[in-house]
A = this chain, B = another copy of it.
Amino acid sequence: MINYPIKKQARKLTNNLDNTINGMKKAKGMTFEDMLNSSNKYYREENIAIIYKKPTPIKILKVKSFKINYQNKHKIVDARFQEKSTTDYNGIYKGKYIDFEAKQTIYKSFNLASNLHSHQLDHLYKIKMHGGIAFLIIYFQKYDRIFLISIGNIKKFLDKVQKSQIPLQYFEEYGIEIEEGINPRIDYLKAVDLIL
């Protein structure tokens, strides 16, 4: 009979631990996006570049409208997430069109196929063809390292290796490492300068 409370406590502890780990993972995950968003905010405020994250594409199915203090309010009560047709970030830097996707991984390699849709890669190739600057920013969580890699070097890898698993070493060789800073948190435009 004594076992029960202990088991319960142990289960509770395990649950708490799980939640903490998940919470940390999530916080880390949010932080990467937050860090990019705050960097973009810095770039805009300092008039260095105008780059925004695009809103998540959503298909709205049902909206309820009502009035509060004589004002029309709308509440979306049914909607679904839609597949992104392009990338997350775009804008202008030094007069050039810029377009990129940011991803993070817990592994020592980046799996292109499980992180990006083929039409997203196609989109980035096309941007390059049209004279824009297209790249990926990859955050290797476990190693706390961030790399920018041009879409040209991604294509080079795929053409040569024909695998979607890109090892960290490839980023070390063909990417540009971005150091974490204070403001901007992720000064990725410094890396962009090197691929312009």
Contact = CB atoms under 8 A, between A and B. Distances in A.
Given A76-B76, A97-B92, A97-B97, A54 B56 contact: no
A70 interface: no
Interface stretch (A21-29, A125-133, A164-172, A183-191): A125-133
Contacts of A60: 56, 58
A165 B83 CA distance: 39
A95 interface: yes
Contacts of A181: none
Interface of A: 44, 47, 49-50, 52, 54-58, 60, 74-82, 85-86, 90-99, 123, 126-127, 129-132
